[in-house]
Amino acid sequence: MSPTLFQRIIAREIPARIEHEDESSIVIHDIHPAAPVHLLIIPKQPIPRIGEATAADQALLGHLLLTAGTVAKKLKLAEGFRLVVNHGPHACESVPHLHIHLLGQRQMTWPPG
């Protein structure tokens, strides 16, 4: 199987605007933002989608959520932000590599989608 778009970004084969990086994750700006702030929090260890995560991925999944909070604080999103995880084509998943969308700096509506 060929590397996903995100694996190629992590390997620096494709450029991206990186907001944060650590040993377990990378946070990049979405190239098609749906909000003034729209970042993607991506684990370096590929997990195809959230429904395929296992108990062995628990610490990494927690790390991704904590990273979202850290980046939101850095970007001063105190008024609020939204985290979104898509699973499968009906959820508009475009890259089969788990990632969390961090959206902010605009009023979100409910219900989404």
- Which residues are designated catalytic? 99
Closest to 15 (Cα-Cα) out of 28, 1, 2: 28
Helix (H), strand (E) at residue 72:
helix 58-74
